[in-house]
Amino acid sequence: QSALTQPRSVSGSPGQSVTISCTGTSSDVGGYNFVSWYQHHPGKAPKFMIYDVTKRPSGVPDRFSGSKSGNTASLTISGLQAEDEADYYCCSYAGRYTYVFGTGTKVTVL
Amino acid sequence: QLQLQESGPGLVKPSETLSLTCTVSGGSISSSGYYWGWIRQPPGKGLEWIGNVFYIGSTDYNSSLKSRVTISVDTSKNQFSLKLSSVTAADTAVYYCARWDCGGGSCYPDFWGQGTLVTVSS
């Protein structure tokens, strides 16, 4: 199981949109619609943001949206806010009850 | 509100066994539809799934760690534990425990502990 590939960093100004990619293989991201995303402020517990590629748990703002095309999943943050500055990780089911996380992306709000 | 809290030594010597416990409060570890698991983050690196356990004791492990990992559950204490044997400096990481919600088509870690740093050093 190799880690899913994410860009090291993305940035945007308040109000703009940013998109984070998460690239895997046909054995994980491409093979299942079971991708999730997590927001992590250092020193705190990671927060569950997206599951089943596109679904939001209750309480997550609709500014956060997920999508997938082939072996690449994406998280888009629309209307970027200062509190969105954090690290973001994707996670995919990889078959046989195993899971793989992404390398992580630091989102900076300019 | 569900809370998870990791506990255990912050320093482990090379070749020894790392042992951590996660105490669950605000909910029962025996609830159906949930697994309980461990995830780690080495310094400066991304997250790595270690493994999960169901309350009856069935487990799933990351194949890269499987030979060294044991995850177990103690329903009487509402706790689950991680043991990682023969540790090296590469096992230095922040270790998180998490609840995995398996109510749908797959499982997702929806509640996490704050994490605990374990350093492997002599």
Q: Would you say residue A1 has pLDDT above 80?
A: no
User: Which of A54, A97, A100, A105 should be substituted to probe chain B, the one whose Cβ sees the most B Cβ atoms within 10 Å?
Assistant: A97
Residue A43 has a pLDDT of 87
Q: Dihedral of CA B49/B54/B55/B57: which sign?
A: negative
- Contact state of B108 with A51 under an 8 Å Cβ cutoff: yes
pLDDT band at B105 (very low <50, low <70, confident <90, very high): confident
pLDDT band at B68 (very low <50, low <70, confident <90, very high): very high
pLDDT band at B88 (very low <50, low <70, confident <90, very high): very high
Give the Cα separation of B3 and B19 in Å (integer): 20
What are the pLDDT digits (tens) for B9-41? 999 999 999 999 999 999 999 988 899 999 999
Average pLDDT, rounded, for chain B: 95
What are the pLDDT digits (tens) for A8-43? 999 999 999 999 999 999 999 999 999 999 999 988
CA dihedral A39, A44, A48, A49 (to 10 degrees): -30
The two tokens of residue B122 are: 């002599």
Contact B118, B12 (CB under 8 A): yes
- Contact state of A46 with B112 under an 8 Å Cβ cutoff: yes
B56 versus A72: the higher-pLDDT residue is: A72
Contact A84, A75 (CB under 8 A): no
Give the Cα separation of B15 and B17 in Å (integer): 7
pLDDT band at B57 (very low <50, low <70, confident <90, very high): confident
For B83-118, b/e burial (b = at least 16 CB within 10 A) is: ebeebeeebbbbbbbbbbbbeeebbbbbbbbebbeb
- Please give, one letter per residue, the 3-state secondary structure of chain B: CCEEEEECCCEECCCCCEEEEEEEECCCCCCCCEEEEEEEECCCCCCEEEEEECCCCCEEECCCCCCCEEEEEECCCCEEEEEECCCCHHHCEEEEEEEEECCCCCCEEEEECCCEEEEECC
Residue B104 has a pLDDT of 76
Q: Given CB atoms, is B5 within the 8 Å cutoff of chain A?
A: no
Q: How far is CA A2 from the centre of its chain?
A: 17
